[in-house]
Amino acid sequence: MQESTFADLAVRPRGWIEVIAGGMFSGKTEALITRLRRALIARQTVQAFKPRLDERYEAAFIVSHSRLRLETQVIDRAEDILEQLLPTTQVVGIDEGQFLGPGLVAVCRRLADDGRRVIVAALDLDYRGEPFEPIPHLMAVAEYVTKPQAICVVCGHPANFSQRLTADDRRVLVGAEGLYEARCRRCFVPYPVPPATAR
Ligand SMILES: [Zn+2]
């Protein structure tokens, strides 16, 4: 059996996982686009993916609220990435990762194990302020985690929560403008509002 030497390990491509996790309006998609653009400037080969259910903007682009955009492939679940991946791809970007199913963690680990840089932007909390699986799991196995904060629209402090403004208890509600606003811990009210605290 051949043993790997330190020299072998040094030349083998080194992969890792980066997670940009935050609430609505925290700028996580913009951060993803910025990192992918910098990779492109560095002449690395990039593929970007996003879930089909996000049809807010043009289907074939990742678009931030400030209209930064990047060409992307639309998929239904995380496993589709492995089928659509090109052998030459060095950097994989994924937007709205919380909508790609429980297989996302295994797919990201596989990509990183194969020597690729994986960057995932995702909501880490749902509209009730509870962990949005599988993102907490992905954050645990990632090398780098960034948690950008939005600004609380009520008090102006850093905002980690997405306040839903409509009477709808579906977990997935696409389209942010008018349906959600950024709130800090103190101003956030989980919905449905418990009767005792209803105002
Ligand atoms: Zn606040």
Tell me the CATH number at 128.
Answer: 3.40.50.300
Output the 3-class SS for 116-129: CEEEEEECCECCCC
pLDDT at 199: 45
* One-letter identity of residue 123: L
Instruction: Please determine, for residue 70, whether its predicted confidence score (pLDDT) is greater than 90.
Output: no
Ligand 1 centroid distance, CA of 181 (Å): 11
Tell me whether residue 70 is in a domain.
yes
CB proximity list for 154: less than 8 A, separation 6 or greater: 183, 184, 187
Domain that holds residue 30: 13-148
CA-based end-to-end distance of the chain:
70
Tell me whether residue 183 is in a domain.
no
Ligand 1 centroid distance, CA of 175 (Å): 22
Tell me whether residue 128 is in a domain.
yes
Tell me whether residue 55 is in a domain.
yes
Structure tokens at 36: 């992918």
Catalytically annotated residues: 96
Tell me whether residue 113 is in a domain.
yes
Q: What is the pLDDT of residues 158-199, one digit of tens each?
A: 999 999 888 766 666 666 567 899 999 999 998 655 444 444
Q: What is the pLDDT of residues 3-44, one digit of tens each?
A: 556 666 666 778 999 999 999 999 999 999 999 999 999 999
Tell me whether residue 52 is in a domain.
yes
Tell me whether residue 60 is in a domain.
yes
Ligand 1 centroid distance, CA of 136 (Å): 24
Ligand 1 centroid distance, CA of 161 (Å): 10
In the chain, the number of structural domains is 1
Nearest CA-CA partner of 130 in 102, 160, 105: 160
CA distances (Å), 13 to each of 42, 95, 113, 187, in order? 16, 24, 9, 46
Q: Is the pTM of this model over 0.75?
A: yes
Tell me whether residue 185 is in a domain.
no
